[in-house]
Chains A and B, each alone.
Chain A
Amino acid sequence: MPQTRTSGDLGFRIGTGLFGFVVIAIVGMIAFELTRQSLPTIQKFGLNFWRTQTWDPIAGQFGALPFIWGTLYSSILALAIAAPIALGIAVFIAELCPGRIQRPLVFLTELLAAIPSIVYGLWGVFVLVPAVRALETSMPEVLRRLPIFSGPARGVGMLSAALILAIMVVPFTSSVAREVLKSVPNTQREGAYALGATRLEAIRAALFYARTGILGAVMLGFGRALGETMAVTMVIGNDPNVTASLFAPQYTMAAVLANEFSEAADPLHLSALVEIGLVLFTITLIVNLLSRLLIWSMARSARGPAVATATQAAAA
């Protein structure tokens, strides 16, 4: 009965299409609602909201720059620490690891992702922060003069936040990168070996083949770092500051939302907090778009035959 078959197909298509549309509708509604509720501060401060540094709910003065800075700085630092580690784990598990310890390793990295962030935060307060403080106090005076190590050694601050974020990001990035590496066809590695590549060179060929997927894995980790709230607010010091110093207390957008939202009774303060949400939403959107663009341009330049990629990597 070809008739019913097509109508079934059509129903399925409409059904799944609707679900797909729900996602778009939700994103659209979030953007609409955030904009609507932050209208008072958008009208009052305009672009100054993005570029001024005073956050004073009592005086009704709101500038989000320290929070934007803190969010981007902590996430980029976390990524710089986490990406190499996560890639190392992924390569080891996917390419080099003996079968027997592969399963426990996969299980353990995935367990890290399942720990609630409040637990990371508590561990951060009681273990990481004292350790960071000890590191800061033992740092030689010469280095302390550098702007990135300036300020008193308190333990809480940007460095602790970046470290805890890095630990939280590693399992996400490494899991996805591992799956991407596993999906690289074996012909890639065999081709490399056939051309006389060493093991390292063959792995490099596989990494090169999988590079768009790996970049996607890194961006997934970045997204996670941007939005992380609880663990960060417990160790970052929560002081709005625009400074490059790793030892200085700073603040992030997600943290100020969590901290001030429940007690904000003044309409302008509330509107400013909602606009922080809108800024975070916009920045996440921009980051995602940029990574899409990057992946897309990489995919375009990688259209050559598979063997060529392998040779390229082997020759490099």
Chain B
Amino acid sequence: MKSKLLVTTGCVVALVAGTAAQQRALINGAGATFPNPIYSKWFDEYHKMHPDVAINYQSVGSGAGIRQITSQTVFFGATDGPMTSEQLLAAPGKIFHFPTVLGAVVPVYNIPNVRAELKFSGPLLADIFLGKVTKWNDPAIAKLNAGATLPATDITVVHRSDGSGTTYIWVDYLAKVSPEWKNKVGVGQSPNWPAGIGGKGNEGVSGLVTQTPGAIGYVELIYALQNKISYGPVQNMAGEFVKATVESVTAAAAEAVAKMPPDFRVSITNAPGKSAYPISSFTWLLLYENPKDKAQSKVMVDFMKWALGDGQKLAAGLGYAPLPDGVVKLELAQLAKVKVS
């Protein structure tokens, strides 16, 4: 009996020692759902190149990601809206923001018997979402779309019901182009919507839009591309009507490089530049400057170097825009400050 126990203990010890010798690094992260496709791809590709590194990401939402990195239950977080100054103060250590890729949000609509592509401007979108423009044949819409025959159908506004980074980008843009939106509604993940109905997730919004005659909503560009939902161009700051594409989103970010704040917490909606798509945004990965676990920190920094370099080439294939070179250069300088020993 005793010897049997000894043998078992011996086995367990050997097993534990064996795993330790292999030095498998398992890193946990959590946060935004919006970049989940590209993050999953990155972690998967990186694991193939470095079989001893496994990064586990849970796409639980930006808010939950911020909560979890603040309470240090995960090694890194991810968010679509930058952390507020109060949130940064609440964290036990200094947190760095790293932009990883860019995304865009597009207006999608469903008007029976209108095949033409409709153009939108920022103030018009704000007025529609404020519930002030209520019919599709409103002069404000007709003015931008000369030639299109617009019906007198009621507009049904469809927004996200779940708190979401997509919503954050959308209302951040509306607040920039409409003072009324800024005062009445403001910017956040879950605004108090003045009009419309709520659908859960991108699929909920697109489902409601495609089914409801006269509906208008907003979804992520990737979602619209993957599901072949048509979307309209939006007038940018320079007065051009630009459709969201990988190029027009990167163009919006390129404008931001010159004015990039040192902590990377920047909104690039309503960016200047003729070819810039106005409803674009970075998505951020969050890391502590001085993490507790230095071994994990070393692995994570190596991964980040790869993600900001070769990893960027994988972005376009998934509908994200890669970072401009200028931003990558600034980020590598910040990455060097993360303590690895």
Contact = CB atoms under 8 A, between A and B. Distances in A.
Interface of A: 54-59, 61, 125-126, 129-130, 133, 152, 154-157, 233-234, 237-239, 249, 251, 255, 258-265, 269-270
B60 to A, nearest CB: 6
A262 B190 contact: no
A58 B185 contact: yes
Given A57-B188, A129-B211, A156 B197 contact: yes
Contacts of B64: 261-263
Interface string B181-203: 00001111111110011111000
A154 B197 contact: yes
Contact of B192 (A54, A156, A238): A54
A249 B200 contact: no
A165 to B, nearest CB: 17
A59 B197 contact: no
Nearest to A262: B61
A238 B63 contact: no
Given A57-B188, A58-B188, A259-B161, A265 B200 contact: no
B269 interface: no
B163 A259 contact: yes
A260 B163 CA distance: 5
Indicate the size class of the contact surface on chain B: 35 or more
Interface string B60-91: 11111011000000000000000100010000
A58 B193 CA distance: 11
Contacts, number: 101
B162 interface: yes
Contacts of A59: 186, 192
A133 B214 CA distance: 13
Contact of A156 (B63, B67, B163, B208): B208
Contacts of B197: 154, 156-157, 237-239, 249
Contacts of B161: 233, 238, 255, 259
Between B83, B154, B163, B199, the greatest number of chain A beta carbons within 10 A of the residue's beta carbon is seen for B163
Contacts of A54: 192
A239 B197 CA distance: 6
Contact of B198 (A130, A152, A238): A238
A130 B66 CA distance: 39
